[in-house]
């Protein structure tokens, strides 16, 4: 786990990592085109676990400690440019030890532009996120291939319908 800031962590699991029954795992696809973004998940253990969007269309597996968690904010480019979440991914959900939870497949497109003015420049950034895609069977199959230690782990579809 790499520490991002005090109380914030990005806990992406590497393909050869072991399955720990005393931890919790979230997985899905979090991809971007253009400018990136991050989901910040706040848990009652006091931590904020971040899911960074990546350019590759591949499954990510995120490790947390058992807790009650919710998707709290979306960070656009940096934590200084964040907003509260307008949709449900996790909403005060109990994440039990050993749980491996599919939270959906997300795709975002970010763009930036500059308007040059006489005395200043205006920088504009925008993001467009598609609705969460529930592709549980395909994403779970890829997760099991990519992370062999999780091949036999029970999984649960937690996508809001």
Mean pLDDT of 118-132: 75
Q: Across all residues in the chain, what is the average pLDDT? A: 81
For residue 93, give its domain range: 2-157
Looking at residue 150, the DSSP 8-state letter turns out to be G
Kindly tell me if the per-residue pLDDT of 92 is higher than 70.
Answer: no
Average pLDDT, integer, range 141-149: 96
Mean pLDDT of 125-151: 88
pLDDT-above-70 percentage for the chain: 78
Residue 36: CB partners within 8 Å, gap ≥ 6?
52, 53, 54, 55, 77, 110
The model's pTM: 0.80
What's the structural domain count of the chain? 1
Burial label for 92, CB within 10 Å (0-12, 13-18, 19+), is exposed
């Amino acid at each position: 786990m790499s520490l991002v800031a005090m109380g914030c962590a990005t806990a992406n699991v590497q393909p050869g990592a072991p399955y720990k029954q005393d931890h919790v795992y979230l997985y899905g696809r979090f991809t971007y085109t253009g400018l990136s973004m991050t989901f910040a998940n706040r848990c009652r253990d006091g931590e904020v676990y971040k899911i960074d969007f990546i350019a590759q269309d591949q499954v990510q597996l995120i490790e947390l400690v058992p807790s009650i968690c919710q998707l709290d904010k979306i960070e656009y480019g940096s934590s200084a440019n964040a907003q509260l979440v307008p949709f449900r991914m996790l909403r005060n959900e109990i994440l039990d030890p050993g749980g491996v939870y599919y939270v959906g497949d997300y795709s975002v497109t970010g763009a930036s532009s500059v308007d040059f003015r006489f005395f200043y420049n205006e920088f504009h950034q925008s993001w467009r996120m598609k609705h969460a895609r529930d592709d549980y069977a395909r994403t779970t199959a890829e997760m099991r291939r990519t992370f062999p230690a999780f091949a036999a782990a029970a999984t649960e579809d937690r996508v809001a319908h």
